Homo-oligomer: A and B are copies of this chain.
Amino acid sequence: MITRMSELFLRTLRDDPADAEVASHKLLIRAGYVRPVGPGLYSWLPLGLKVLRKIEAIVREEMNAIGGQEILFPALLPRAPYEETNRWTEYGDALFRLKDRRGNDYLLGPTHEEFFALTVKGEYSSYKDFPVILYQIQNKYRDEARPRAGILRGREFLMKDSYSFDIDDDGLKTAYHAHREAYQRIFGRLHVRYVIVSAVSGAMGGSASEEFLAESEVGEDTYVRCLQSGYAANVEAVVTAIPDPIPAERIAALPEPVVHDTGDTPTIATLVDWANGASLPQFAGRDVTAADTLKNVLMKVRQPGGDWELLAIGVPGDREVDDKRLGAALEPAEYAMLDDADFDRHPFLVKGYIGPKGLLANGVRYLVDPRIVDGTTWITGADEKGKHVVGLAAGRDFTPDGTIEAAEVREGDPSPDGAGPLVAARGIEIGHVFQLGRKYTDAFTADVLGENGKPVRPTMGSYGIGVSRLVAVIAEQQHDELGLRWPSTVSPFDVHVVIANKDSDARTGATELVSELDRLGADVVLDDRQASPGVKFKDAELLGVPWIVVVGRGWADGVVELRNRFSGEKRELAVESAAADILAALG
């Protein structure tokens, strides 16, 4: 195919758009790949659409290769099934809701678990029908609070969502791993640099779950990894490295806890100051730090459909409770901090002096950070104003109701596999694989006949790829200071031929070269515009086709120039064999 820039619906921009913050957003607009039409809404101009379709085709190929069957649901969906699973409400403001002319409720689909489950229920009736993997590549809608970074986080975006249905957990695992490998092939073909991180389930409930994060400074997701072992996890999913157990004889030898008058010490900082002035025998020879204190954070928690109940979380005093980790750990329950009325209702809660003994004596559910193992001793509240206890031993003096992964994760924390410290980085979620389980087949009682003649309920996996987001991710990872750079697998063209010579012979020669490239099967864009060579070179660099051919001054000497947009390497090719040489370079 030959595309002439003199006819192409494309106008590049010299300046960055005013509201663009990240490089991919700036460049995709400047290079005329996309245009904004509203907050989080973009139109795809010819070049952008070509890249999008190429990514879509690669995703489709790899989904078909693992036996995925493509189907397509409407984006406009009736409310009832989402009501059944409570997602109509749970999605909150992120769901686009609307009414039809009869006043019935509809939504624009954010994901389609409900309809896939209902469809399989509708078509299949026996265990013999399974396994099956179904997918669609379709526009999704989410009313983001702050749509940002161009197509990295839009409100209408193209997504591949697939769903596996299996009779048993082994089947689900097989489908999960098939997807995981397909995703690795897809992102490999797209030349995306990514990590696979453990993830918690988020709003969807379920068990095994991993995210594919494209490495990027502009990513919204923070993850940590251990460079020694390769362990990687979303912040929400990080498992705390548990200290070695303390031998029983050492616990037996611990001094009894002592309650002290600590004065006005309602904060960790004031408590540490007091402790360092108190010449406590346990700390002879070293300073007391916040890590020696046990901070008890009070909140109330409500399970879906249940009542508010008190919950206390104990963490070492040098760590905050991380909202994201707390939310994920409590999922699907919601939580809220206590207000004054709550404190008034529970006079045993002495603000600033709350301790494990008072909590447990009053029946408050008490969960602690996994670092608080049996035999660790703490400076903590003594449940009376101005009093703290020193040397309170977990497991001996108090026994929590369990542990919770809610304390903040820090760079330098040990990896849970013991291999070394964790380092933090940012990424952009490009894929998610998820052993969803029976949440949706339960909701719709999607039973089929089992091998033994009794009903059996299929288990689901749910797998997503952000197809339109990948256009921005590739732009973000591959661009340089001159413009975009596309891997050949997704580039809008194979070769960009620039006529940089006003000589009519050169023009004719370029046209012939392009015809020959087309004949050999290359997809070529020809810059045949009446513009200066400088303008044309700048545009070629901005557009980012991986190979640039310049028909310029060398023409008179029988040579054209081939440039590699990634390496910057240039070499001269003899005109006679130029087309064949270029094809060979494309690989």
Chain B residue with Cβ nearest A81: B37
Per-position contact with B for A104-137: 1 when CB-CB < 8 Å, else 0? 0010100000010001001110000000101000
Bound together, the chains give a CA A98 to CA B101 distance in angstroms of 12
- Partner of A76 from the list B46, B49, B94, B108 (CB cut-off 8 Å) is B108
A contacts with B, residue count (CB < 8 A): 50
A69 interface residue, CB < 8 Å from B? yes
A73 interface residue, CB < 8 Å from B? yes
A78 interface residue, CB < 8 Å from B? yes
Query: Which 3 pairs of residues, A with B, have the shortest CB-CB distance?
Result: A98-B98, A38-B78, A44-B72
How distant is A128 from chain B, measured CB to nearest CB, in Å? 9
Which residues of chain B are near A106, meaning CB under 8 Å?
38, 96
Determine if A156 and B49 form an interchain contact, defined as CB atoms under 8 angstroms apart: no
Which residues of chain B are near A108, meaning CB under 8 Å?
76, 98
Known interface pairs A9-B132, A41-B74; 19 further A-B residue pairs with C-beta atoms within 8 A, sorted by A's residue number: A9-B71, A11-B123, A11-B124, A32-B123, A38-B77, A41-B77, A43-B72, A43-B119, A46-B70, A52-B72, A76-B108, A76-B141, A76-B156, A93-B101, A94-B101, A96-B106, A98-B108, A101-B143, A139-B139
Which residues of chain B are near A78, meaning CB under 8 Å?
37-38, 41
A75 interface residue, CB < 8 Å from B? yes
Which residues of chain B are near A73, meaning CB under 8 Å?
37, 43
Determine if A71 and B43 form an interchain contact, defined as CB atoms under 8 angstroms apart: yes
Which residues of chain B are near A100, meaning CB under 8 Å?
96, 143, 155
Contact residues of A between 34 and 55, Cβ < 8 Å to B? 35, 37-38, 41-46, 49, 52
In this complex, which of A10, A74, A108 has the most chain B Cβ atoms within 10 angstroms of its Cβ? Answer: A74
A481 interface residue, CB < 8 Å from B? no
Determine if A123 and B72 form an interchain contact, defined as CB atoms under 8 angstroms apart: no
A253 interface residue, CB < 8 Å from B? no
Which residues of chain B are near A8, meaning CB under 8 Å?
69
A557 interface residue, CB < 8 Å from B? no
Bound together, the chains give a CA A123 to CA B139 distance in angstroms of 26
A357 interface residue, CB < 8 Å from B? no
Determine if A155 and B76 form an interchain contact, defined as CB atoms under 8 angstroms apart: yes
A395 interface residue, CB < 8 Å from B? no
Chain B residue with Cβ nearest A125: B11
Chain B residue with Cβ nearest A7: B67
Determine if B9 and A75 form an interchain contact, defined as CB atoms under 8 angstroms apart: no
Chain B residue with Cβ nearest A112: B43
How distant is A420 from chain B, measured CB to nearest CB, in Å? 43
Which residues of chain B are near A7, meaning CB under 8 Å?
67, 132
A97 interface residue, CB < 8 Å from B? yes
Chain B residue with Cβ nearest A157: B74
How distant is A401 from chain B, measured CB to nearest CB, in Å? 38
Tell whether A9 pairs with B98 under 8 Å between CB atoms, given A35-B119, A74-B41, A77-B41.
Answer: no
Per-position contact with B for A59-87: 1 when CB-CB < 8 Å, else 0? 00000000101111111111000000000
Tell whether A45 pairs with B71 under 8 Å between CB atoms, given A35-B119, A123-B11.
Answer: yes
Determine if B98 and A37 form an interchain contact, defined as CB atoms under 8 angstroms apart: no
Bound together, the chains give a CA A101 to CA B144 distance in angstroms of 8
Determine if A43 and B96 form an interchain contact, defined as CB atoms under 8 angstroms apart: no
Which residues of chain B are near A44, meaning CB under 8 Å?
71-72
Determine if A96 and B98 form an interchain contact, defined as CB atoms under 8 angstroms apart: yes
Bound together, the chains give a CA A11 to CA B96 distance in angstroms of 33
A284 interface residue, CB < 8 Å from B? no
A145 interface residue, CB < 8 Å from B? yes
How distant is A95 from chain B, measured CB to nearest CB, in Å? 9
Determine if A77 and B46 form an interchain contact, defined as CB atoms under 8 angstroms apart: no
- Partner of A70 from the list B49, B69, B96 (CB cut-off 8 Å) is B49
- Partner of A74 from the list B37, B45, B124 (CB cut-off 8 Å) is B37
Chain B residue with Cβ nearest A139: B75
Which residues of chain B are near A42, meaning CB under 8 Å?
74
Contact residues of A between 1 and 43, Cβ < 8 Å to B? 7-11, 32, 35, 37-38, 41-43
Tell whether A71 pairs with B46 under 8 Å between CB atoms, given A37-B115, A77-B38.
Answer: yes
Tell whether A9 pairs with B69 under 8 Å between CB atoms, given A74-B37, A74-B43, A119-B35.
Answer: yes
Bound together, the chains give a CA A122 to CA B141 distance in angstroms of 26
Per-position contact with B for A304-319: 1 when CB-CB < 8 Å, else 0? 0000000000000000
Contact residues of A between 172 and 192, Cβ < 8 Å to B? none
Which residues of chain B are near A32, meaning CB under 8 Å?
123
Bound together, the chains give a CA A443 to CA B96 distance in angstroms of 29
Bound together, the chains give a CA A94 to CA B71 distance in angstroms of 27
**8 sampled A-B residue pairs with Cβ under 8 A:** A7-B132, A10-B123, A41-B74, A41-B78, A43-B119, A45-B123, A46-B69, A46-B70
Determine if B74 and A134 form an interchain contact, defined as CB atoms under 8 angstroms apart: no
Determine if B76 and A145 form an interchain contact, defined as CB atoms under 8 angstroms apart: no
Determine if A49 and B75 form an interchain contact, defined as CB atoms under 8 angstroms apart: no
Per-position contact with B for A136-156: 1 when CB-CB < 8 Å, else 0? 000101010100000000011
Bound together, the chains give a CA A123 to CA B34 distance in angstroms of 12
How distant is A229 from chain B, measured CB to nearest CB, in Å? 40
Determine if A156 and B98 form an interchain contact, defined as CB atoms under 8 angstroms apart: no
Which residues of chain B are near A52, meaning CB under 8 Å?
72
Which residues of chain B are near A72, meaning CB under 8 Å?
43-44, 49, 52
